Amino acid sequence: MSEWQAKLKSFLGQAAGKILVWSLIAIAGLSALGAVGAVTAYLLITPRTFNLAKIEAENRIPGIIFYDAHGDILATRGANHGDDITIKELPDYLPKAFIATEDRRFYSHFGVDPRGLLRAVWADLRAHRFVQGGSTITQQLARNLFLSNDKKLGRKLREMLYAVWLERHLTKNQILELYLNRIYFGAGTYGVDAASRFYFSKPAKNVSLAEAALLAGLPKAPTKLSPTTEKGLSSAQARARFVLANMLEAKYISNDAFADARAHPAAAADHPVGVQYYLDYVYELLAELTQNNPKGKEDLVVETTLDARLQRKAEAAIAAIFCNPK
């Protein structure tokens, strides 16, 4: 090697070393600046005090719930929130169905899951559109409590900050309970108990594994997956099979339980068609009956005298006459 070649090699080596050092300094500086920016944004966006009751009251959407003569839900108008439940009241597999599908690392992250977020970003880049949100259960709760459902970057960043804020003030089980009590399941139902009563005519504490899997699949696309229509039921059952596979992979259920739930998929209970005409009549009476009551954030509960069981039998008898004339 000639002298000039040796000098050139030495110069390039020194330059590469300097570039590496300055690159590391730049990365460290940008990281520090990003950390300062994140802390500043957190302090500006998140509230200084935590009052869960106030937060719930301010964001609650009131609705009307109609019950029949037996105390079963006939229908809802507006939002149907149902009863708040605790994890201890639910079968073990119900909350696990949501964790397995929505947020497998729920009990280990700090409100935001970097691995899940990177995976979602990569999927979105490959598809050239939003196909995965990467939101944890805590982020979904933050969105439900404080934000809208738009997919803008600013909303996503605020969602992350609120998620970290919630994790500072609540335990994991409290977050999971709030999530299960507030998530939207379609047909105006908010919360797993309201959804269970509407779709299966039973409280959430009594659902089977197959029913739990169907419920856990609904939040992804409540309208498209609605089990009250033939097409929606097929899609909902396919989604439920996906949930069951996730639960098996996470070792939340046994092979036998998985096979049994797949072999006996859940289906929504029948809702009498004629009831809607009756409820339209009752709904018109409500304006007069409630005119002296102040409007608030609580659901309006309407107990009717209609016997939905007899209504179903009557509709079935009429259908049999017209569909099978002698």
What does the pLDDT look like over 255-272, one tens digit per residue? Answer: 999 999 999 999 988 766
Residues 6+ apart with CB under 8 A from 57: 297
Split at pLDDT 50, 70, 90, the class of 36 is: very low
Length of the chain in terms of residues written? 326
Integer Cα distance of 246 and 108 in angstroms: 18
Per the structure block, which two tokens stand in for 4?
């000039």
150 φ/ψ sector (left φ>0, alpha ψ -120 to 50, else beta): beta
Q: How many CB atoms lie within 10 A of CB 317?
A: 10
pLDDT for residue 234 is more than 80: yes
Per the structure block, which two tokens stand in for 80?
């149907």
Q: What is the pLDDT of residue 73?
A: 79
The H or E element containing residue 184 is: strand 184-186
Distance from the first to the final alpha carbon of the chain: 107
Q: What is the pLDDT of residue 82?
A: 75
pLDDT for residue 294 is more than 60: no
From residue 135, alpha-carbon distances to 47, 88, 158, 229 in Å are: 21, 25, 12, 29
Per the structure block, which two tokens stand in for 43?
């302090």
Split at pLDDT 50, 70, 90, the class of 138 is: very high
Integer Cα distance of 217 and 264 in angstroms: 16
0.85 exceeded by pTM: no
Integer Cα distance of 138 and 107 in angstroms: 10
Per the structure block, which two tokens stand in for 178?
């709030």
CB contact at 8 A, 77 and 134: no
Per the structure block, which two tokens stand in for 163?
């998620």
Reduce the DSSP state of residue 71 to 3 states and report it. Answer: coil
The H or E element containing residue 288 is: helix 275-289
